[in-house]
Amino acid sequence: MSDPSPVIYFDRYVRAEREEAIYGEKWLRWTCEHPVGRLCLRSAISRPWFSRLYGTWADSPASRREIVPFLEKFGLDPAEFSDPVESFRTFNEFFHRRLAANARPIDPAPGAAIFPADGRHSLVHPLDQTTTIYAKGQRLDLTALLGDGALAQRFAGGTAIFSRLCPVDYHRFHFPLAGTPDAPRVVNGALFSVNPIALRESIARLWQNRRAVTEVSGSPVGDYLFVEVGATNVGGIVPTAEPGTPVEKGDEKGYFRLGGSLVITLFSAGVFTPADDLVEQSSRGVELYARMGDRMGTVGTPGSTAGNRGSDSGPA
């Protein structure tokens, strides 16, 4: 049985807990908590064709009328957008919008690793032990997630940061550190929801879903991994970085089309020290809300937490 309790996260900027406003919550809870809804989820909603169908609507001119009500309901600030609201021809164009150049400043400290996306973030450490992420006692199957046993062995005992993007969030994702990305390796799968309402029932949905795994070499920590996980009604994972071309911290890696989604950053053991508030909230089983470009942690000497308290920015 799914947990009927609300989804609570901790907002780094106001330093308080908040209840998540979930786009399509009634529909999501029906698919997770009602027997008929679960049957529909397995037989149709999680199938790629269903998300493609939904994406077709989101790419149609008729979808444009949903933009203004969405802005009003979820309180998004158009001043952050790089383009005016009236310029978006479809809901999908609005959904994977770019932001103004100054909307997400990148932490300039040489040892700082940044959050790769706006969203709600969770820490998993170490990677070879049971974790309390989303539901107590659920075990992260690293080999299944990466689709590669040898790669999983290289990162066993390391750290993973889960960055969950809600439909209300900015949906482009960025490199947390400089380096050189290889070509994303796509692991095909279904498209289940990655909202905690669904993940409380089964974290295995993360490695049942379609995902793309990228290895980034030549970073300050050597190699690290970046995993993009698709979800229900995500029309696609769209890469924008060129494989084999060096990138800087904060450069864009790609974007998700319509839907809630999730990215995972994985570091090997002993190279990353997470921000204090990320550690504190994850230890409570609560996600931390933070924006792309803000400090996720530091890299370098293990155990060094100097300057690692996270952002002291004002309210969002």
Q: Which domains does the chain have, with CATH numbers?
A: 19-95 (no CATH), 112-299 (2.70.70)
261 is catalytic: yes
Catalytic residue (one of 51, 261, 282, 311)? 261
Q: Show the tokens assigned to 170.
A: 């900015």
Catalytic residue (one of 118, 169, 277, 294)? 118
Higher pLDDT pick, 22 / 74? 74
DSSP letter for each residue of 13-72: TTTEEEE---TTHHHHHHHHHSHHHHHHIIIIITSHHHHHHHHHHHTSGGGGGGHHHHHH
**Is there a contact between 273 and 159 (Cβ–Cβ < 8 Å)?**
no
Q: Show the tokens assigned to 111.
A: 């040892």
pTM reported for the whole predicted model: 0.83
pLDDT in tens, 164-218: 998 889 999 999 999 999 999 988 776 555 655 556 666 667 777 788 999 999 9
Catalytic residue (one of 2, 174, 219, 223)? 174
Residue 107 confidence class, pLDDT cut points 50, 70, 90 = very high
77 is catalytic: no
294 is catalytic: no
